[in-house]
Structure 1
């Protein structure tokens, strides 16, 4: 690992030193714990793994105390230990990112039980949804693995270290956002947050140069040859045009008061009550009123459905559904859709059958 171009900004203030110490301890402790628990647990007892990880968490504080003691006594070698902390972050970051990449290549990540993949989409947890999405395309998995492995190895060389950090930064931000929004295990998200603190800690050492680069103008891009007022108008149009275009757009949620998934109950066909008593009973149990006036009947199994388009007249509460699946030869549903308690009541005619049922909105699956 090249060790000759990490700036020495960490020695400028006690605050920056403490930040570097904490970041180094967190990154090394978390990475060692994850790696040892996953790969070395057959040989190392859990208390040993936890003990070593905790020791690494506090090792940086010990380095800080030694550094301050040397500063007070004027001993030779002042700051030498502190200068090693950024390289500790670099090493453990590189190792962890590299391992994550190879885990993806070898199918050790993005694992979903095969039995879950054939279940309804809405029944999957956020974690399983994420893994099912990513595992669908192995080339995409390889692409992510390539980013992680390349950023890991670029970290090890002085001339490519900054590039590696700039690759890792958005990657980790994306992972943290995904972990949070899709309810991943807390420890998984916390691990990503710790890696991000390591990246930010290293980037902070080169803060002024990065700031100057990011806020500099693009060379070769000439200023617009227009008056300042026109330039301001062009910039404002980027904000105002979307508002204008969206204000005239026909949104697909045409009947938001109905849109949702409903559980069917109190079903009566030609006056006779019908109830699904076993999973094999082909009885109407669910109704979906969706965007773009999509309408679906669910007959106790997601594989057995009628799907079509509905037209609703609010003046008369009249409803007509033209089916297209499983075929277009099914007679339209004609009836009335009205409020009933906290739900809806559907009363209509399907072919030669008279349907009556209560619809109770189901909470949206997340």
Structure 2
């Protein structure tokens, strides 16, 4: 079971975070299913009230949860575990669906009337969409990472590996969505999924810390009696590359 369950410090704050992340990830999935109002049987008049209800519930439930716990009428360990698993599976469904959309050509589509415009007349969103859609292979690679990374979320022993893999991808996509001014829906999806994955990573913080700081490398290292020499070599990597870059810039500016 996740470390989040057994750590009793700041338990109410953890209830709030866990419930809020659950509500946000479920809401994001519902918005994806709603697909901008294109699905007849799931119109916006149903989608948005449902999302509002879920978000409201995620804000109120921690208070109810705390009161029930004080009265010993709820098993908090099981509740944490249920919500934690819910986040895992909802994120997996969401990202896998985005992966399938890429494979079946439902993403990175640019209308012909937009594609024929000069680059300096394109918005950041269309430039990004056209760039990613230029290579079908690249799209399939991103889709594969989303699909297989999400599959790892479905198994408790591989959640951390899947979360780390998907977090690096989603953080990159979130930054693209922000700085290339993608539409608000895409930005919200990426932000929510990124925070959801961060939640899963931090839930396994002890395991991650043990892996990063307690694992011994099998490779030999250079031995220096003077630590200053070792640090000078490390800093020189940064300095030498910087000097070389400045040199190249001076050549181009001539």
TM-score, normalization: structure 1? 0.63
- What is aligned with 2:119? 121
- What is aligned with 1:133? 131
Contact 1:70 1:78 in 2 (8 A): no
- What is aligned with 2:191? 193
- What is aligned with 1:292? none
How far is 1:218 from its partner? 4.8
Q: 1:28 to 1:193 in 2, by over 3 A?
A: same
1:15 aligned to which of 8, 13, 16: 13
RCO higher in structure (CA 8 A, sep ≥6):
2
- What is aligned with 2:2? 6
Q: How many pairs were matched up?
A: 250
Matching of residue 142 in structure 1 with residue 140 in structure 2: yes
CA distance in 2, matches of 1:40, 1:237: 56
- What is aligned with 1:232? 231
2:154 aligned to which of 153, 156, 160: 156
CA distance in 1, matches of 2:56, 2:83: 13
- Give per-residue Cα distances to partners, 1:96-118, cap 9 Å, x unaligned: 00100000011110011123333
CA distance in 2, matches of 1:162, 1:246: 37
SS at match of 1:80: helix
- Give per-residue Cα distances to partners, 1:294-321, cap 9 Å, x unaligned: xxxxxxxxxxxxxxxxxxxxxxxxxxxx
How far is 1:77 from its partner? 3.5
Q: 1:40 to 1:67 in 2, by over 3 A?
A: farther
Note the aligned Cα RMSD (angstroms).
2.1
- What is aligned with 2:209? 211
Matching of residue 93 in structure 1 with residue 91 in structure 2: yes
Contact 1:37 1:49 in 2 (8 A): no
Contact 1:30 1:191 in 2 (8 A): yes
- What is aligned with 1:280? none
Q: 1:11 to 1:195 in 2, by over 3 A?
A: farther
- What is aligned with 2:252? 252
Q: 1:181 to 1:78 in 2, by over 3 A?
A: closer
CA distance in 1, matches of 2:230, 2:78: 53
The answer for unaligned runs of 5 or more in structure 1 is 255-366
How far is 1:135 from its partner? 1.1
Q: 1:243 to 1:40 in 2, by over 3 A?
A: closer
Which structure has the larger Rg over C-alpha atoms? Answer: 1
CA distance in 2, matches of 1:11, 1:64: 15
- What is aligned with 1:202? 200
CA distance in 2, matches of 1:186, 1:48: 20
- What is aligned with 1:26? 24
Contact 1:27 1:198 in 2 (8 A): yes
Map 1:68-107 to 2 at 5 A: 68-75=66-73, 77-107=75-105
Q: 1:241 to 1:216 in 2, by over 3 A?
A: farther
Q: 1:102 to 1:40 in 2, by over 3 A?
A: same
